[in-house]
Chain A
């Protein structure tokens, strides 16, 4: 089975701290994604990557950056955490190409609280 692992399930950080959220997938997927999910706003795409060292902005990239140095790992970075970044963060991965069906697989989520 495909596994997408988010290393931290629950984090509490202070305003202004630098925060790293790590995500690892074990199925050699090209595409990886970071979403945040908020009540009433649904899932919104922050950044995605379709190859190592490649990244593209999603719908709400402000205040975030990402890193993909290895195919299996995609990191989300909050350079200076703010209270409005309190949210649930979801990492996902998928293959490219029609043969795969492009099913997307999600991690369990990381609950971040910024105080």
Chain B
């Protein structure tokens, strides 16, 4: 059974510092990996999707890397801002799973202090 772990569970940084969020998964036979942002009391917003054949994806200040063989992904957020404060979740979709269902990590709660 696929397990997804995110460490640390919470992170606090001063504004302007770069953020590094980690995600690990136990089954390397993934179809893709997604990073999401969740604001308190809200749904999830997809930030980046990395296909299993890709090693990284970039969008603005966000960069996500994927190392399938070691079962790891890292989300980098450059020059953090208070508006980046949220919970960040990663999720993987297994190749053999019907309907591309996702398994989520527990999330990392980020606070960017002004």
Contact = CB atoms under 8 A, between A and B. Distances in A.
Interface of A: 4, 30-31, 33, 40, 42-43, 45, 48-50, 56, 58, 90, 92, 94, 96, 98, 101-109, 111
A94 B100 contact: yes
Contacts of A58: 101
B100 A109 contact: no
A4 B34 CA distance: 18
Interface in B50-94: 51, 89, 91, 93
A102 B104 contact: no
Contacts, number: 62
Measured as residues with beta carbon below 8 angstroms from the partner, the interface class of chain B is 20 to 34
20 contacts: A30-B99, A31-B100, A33-B101, A40-B106, A42-B106, A42-B107, A43-B91, A45-B101, A45-B102, A50-B99, A56-B98, A98-B51, A102-B49, A103-B49, A105-B46, A106-B45, A108-B42, A109-B41, A109-B43, A111-B41
